[in-house]
Amino acid sequence: MAMPTEEEVRNALKAVYDPEIGLNIVDLGLVYGIEIHEPNITINMTLTSPACPLGPVIQSQAQAILQSMFEDVEDVKINLVWNPPWDPRTMASEEAKLELGLW
């Protein structure tokens, strides 16, 4: 089995966008952790707010992308975590901060 690296998973997740903001979940800083335990991947992530109505869409897109890109992955589990709370000023990439007008 050829499991992806954490970097490959993170790069794949850049294809998942928060539809309300229009930026990918990695650059937004929503992905808190990636665990790879052959043949499964667990993603710890948050949303821009606990009340985000598109949370299920974002989760299903992340699962679908990882399972389609990495054929040796049997299961992708997405854990939504709320601690620490998402803060774009400290968690988003420099590019995302520019897009969000935080500079």
What's the rounded Cα separation, in Å, for the pair 76 and 36? 10
Of 73, 83, 75, the residue nearest 45 (C-alpha):
83
Beta bridge partners of 77: 42
What's the rounded Cα separation, in Å, for the pair 69 and 40? 13
Question: Is 95 part of any domain?
Answer: no
Specify the CATH number for the domain of residue 40: 3.30.300.130
What's the number of CA atoms in the CB half-sphere (13 Å) around residue 2?
Answer: 4
pLDDT digits (tens, 9 = 90+) for 27-36: 999 999 999 9
Q: Quote the Cα angle for 84-13-47, to 5°.
A: 30
Residue 45, SS3?
Answer: strand
Domain residues for the domain of 71 are: 6-88
* Model pTM score: 0.93
How large is the average pLDDT for residues 21-42? Answer: 97
Question: Is 93 part of any domain?
Answer: no
Question: Is 30 part of any domain?
Answer: yes
pLDDT digits (tens, 9 = 90+) for 46-93: 999 998 899 999 999 999 999 999 999 999 999 999 999 999 999 999
Question: Is 79 part of any domain?
Answer: yes
Q: Quote the Cα angle for 26-31-36, to 5°.
A: 110
What's the rounded Cα separation, in Å, for the pair 68 and 59? 14
More confident residue, 8 or 102: 8
Number of domains making up the chain: 1
